[in-house]
Amino acid sequence: MKYRLLAILLLSAVTARVSAQDYPGVKTLAQRRVPWLEKSLVLNRIPADSSREVFEIQTIGSRLHINASSSSAAAAGLNWYLKYHCHRSMSHMGDNLAPVNPLPAVPAKEKHLTEMPVRYALNYCTISYTMSFYSWADWEHELDWMSLNGVNTMLATVGTEAVWQRTLQRIGYTSEAARSFVAGPGFTAWWLMGNLEGWGGPVPQSIIDQQEALQKKILARMKELGIAPVMQGFYGMVPTTLKDKMKLTGVVPQGKWAGGFQRPDYLLPADTAFQRMAAIYYEEMKRSYGNDIRFFAGDPFHEGGNAQGVDVPAAAKGVQQSMLKAFPEATWVLQGWQANPGAQLLAGLDKSKVLVQELFGENTANWEKRKGYESTPFIWCTVTNFGEKMGLYGKLQRFADEVYRAANSPYKGVFRGAGIMPEGIRNNPVIYDLMMELPWHQEHVQVKDWIKTYVRARYGVENSELEAAWQGLLETCYSSFAAYQEGPTESIFTARPDMDVNKSVSTWGTRKRNYDTAVFSLSVQQFLNAAAKLKSNITLQTDAVDFERQLISNRGEQVYADMMAAWKNDDQTAFNKQSALFLSLMNQQDKLLGRSPYFRLDTWVNAARAMGNTPAEKSLLVRNAKTQITWWGPDNPDTDLHEYANKEWNGLMKTLYIPRWEKFIAALKSSPGKPVGRIDFFSMEKRWSEER
């Protein structure tokens, strides 16, 4: 009887320990994503290893024990077990999280640590190109992915509209006038970066209130998961109407941004109005989102803003001082993009409370050229995707090389970590898996070896054909070629038709394939052969659509060249044949893309529509969604932003891109061998963006 009582007491003690374990946020994450594992999961807090975050994995009996020094490390440990032992993974383009039974054993304790205290995620542009119309369910998935991948610092600017509205109202603006400064959800990123104001609006009050409520849920979940938010700071950006309203002299006009947008003005910190506005802004930030914010973003003079006549060190010091007055523990996060942040700006700062993002690491090494940004704490990041354009691309080995090089460089004393800063994140999931795993490797990662684990975890199967296909992808679309390139190669299908579409579809893009397309084709065919035998595998089928899409897109380049050569040679028979083939490829592409929700226009438009509460709101939001991916803005036929966010999407291909090319081809047929007049594609695009 006494042994039975002892057994009951021991069982009770174990049960109490399991139910009262550490890191409850990670435990509930497991409940949401891997309920088949959650009941066996035991999470324990352990000290950091000489200030380095650490996690340990071990199975004891039927339980998986993860010991970790932080919530972020605990979630990374869970992901490591899922990836390396269960062959399971989560992504922005399909999850492979099916149950594994029995749980794989880890009899000997595995220990992993990181030298990188900052694992960062998100570009301002991601908030608009990917997340403009995210629901709470979308954010839950996003934050769970971030947590599992070890992200512990993330840009979180949703709900800034409410802070700005109340700030402006407190200095005399009406609610309507304040809302006219705010950009629509499809364009929030560029408003916050000081590039434009009001575009895509006016934003209804209900949407501002809705976004504020959503941000509170986002921040609460981030806190549970140990992810520090990077909020929007007050750095001097003000409405262009402010100087006249308040009779200010300390205002510097910022000129025009891309496309011809009028930028907001810059209010000098030396002006007494700056301190007043900053104090109000941060009071409103606290009112909505609390006192425990440690990171703020915001870049003066972003992308060519006017600093002429400005005492830049003094201005930077004033911005930081107002931030620290409101939040004494604040760190100012600055984008290392183009010439920003300039050496003069950094010279005015307390650098111990600054973090610079080497934003464009796949093409630049400014951290090295500028000697660790003049000895300022920095992280190495990659953009990789611009405008969330479709395209297979990513200099994977360079990512591994540069992160390792920065961590072991003469500037390692100010090196703080790594991050992902894509303008759009629903693409190329391999990039984000690799980048966020790198901080947990002390050794120099060789991607040709690492990719084997990725392939097995992505698809949940061990398959030599898939592995061989991926080695071919590493040699082609994912190779680390030396040439400068801004984002993935673009598709001719998405271009505004012309007799000579030059180097790119969008102003800063490229259509050049910096790889051997014949080798790529063989690798894709090998992948598709394997995929045909595993039709129920969602992640495999998603990638099969994406890879075949790239194959068709690549073929379209040659067909376009042949079509235009036939026209220039006045070979009507060849032109008719090649133009018919070109349109046939576009129709084939449209049908292929319809097989996956990740490549469909209706996924994007329906999300925008669902965000609205009334017919008028739904109409505004859908217009934001459709304008962003086509002519972008402003209301100018010659805007150089058109097609910046072009998409090879089912539905968009059928209803806009194919009709544009049909119109163009018909014009060429009626004028064999002779230049055709300018076709008003802008009106066509604008009409499309406003249609139901």
b/e string for 240-260 if b means 16 or more Cβ within 10 A?
bbbbeebebeebbebeebbbe
Cα 307 → chain centroid: 29
Q: Is 289 a residue whose pLDDT tops 80?
A: yes
Tell me the pLDDT band of 503, cut-offs 50, 70 and 90: confident
Q: Is 9 a residue whose pLDDT tops 80?
A: no
Over the Cα atoms of the chain, what is R_g? 26
Kindly state the average pLDDT of the residues 24-34: 98
For residue 434, the model assigns a pLDDT of 98
Tell me the pLDDT band of 692, cut-offs 50, 70 and 90: confident
Cβ atoms of 326 and 279 within 8 Å: the answer is yes
Cα first-last separation, the chain: 76
Kindly state the average pLDDT of the residues 562-571: 94
Tell me the pLDDT band of 8, cut-offs 50, 70 and 90: very low
For residue 684, the model assigns a pLDDT of 97
Cβ atoms of 348 and 302 within 8 Å: the answer is no
Kindly state the average pLDDT of the residues 281-285: 98
- State the sign of the Cα–Cα–Cα–Cα dihedral 438, 137, 157, 184: positive
Q: Is 14 a residue whose pLDDT tops 50?
A: no
Q: Is 441 a residue whose pLDDT tops 70?
A: yes
Start-end of H helices in 438-571: 447-459, 464-475, 517-532, 538-568
For residue 5, the model assigns a pLDDT of 39
Residues 339-364: pLDDT tens digits?
Answer: 899 999 999 999 999 999 999 999 99
Kindly state the average pLDDT of the residues 506-527: 97
User: Where do the domains of the chain lie, and which CATH numbers do they carry?
Assistant: 18-113 (3.30.379.10), 118-445 (3.20.20.80), 492-690 (1.20.120.670)
Two structure tokens written together for 178: 């304040």
> What value does the mean pLDDT of the chain take?
95
Q: Is 66 a residue whose pLDDT tops 50?
A: yes
pTM to 2 decimal places: 0.95
Kindly state the average pLDDT of the residues 393-400: 98
Tell me the pLDDT band of 20, cut-offs 50, 70 and 90: low
Cβ atoms of 159 and 215 within 8 Å: the answer is yes
Query: Which of 350, 277, 283, 282 is closest to 320 using CA atoms?
Result: 350
Residues 204-250: pLDDT tens digits?
Answer: 999 999 999 999 999 999 999 999 999 999 999 999 999 999 999 99
Q: Is 520 a residue whose pLDDT tops 80?
A: yes
- β-sheet bridge partners, residue 55: 68, 112
Secondary structure percentages of the chain, helix, strand, coil, to 5: 50, 10, 40
Q: Is 15 a residue whose pLDDT tops 60?
A: no
CA distance 448 to 450: 6
> Which helix (H) or strand (E) covers residue 110, if one does?
strand 110-114
Percent pLDDT > 70 in the chain is: 97
Place of tokens 């440690």: 294
- Sequence-separated (6 or more) residues with CB below 8 Å from residue 140: 32, 221
- Sequence-separated (6 or more) residues with CB below 8 Å from residue 169: 175, 178
Q: Is 19 a residue whose pLDDT tops 50?
A: no
Q: Which residue has the higher pLDDT, 672 or 329?
A: 329
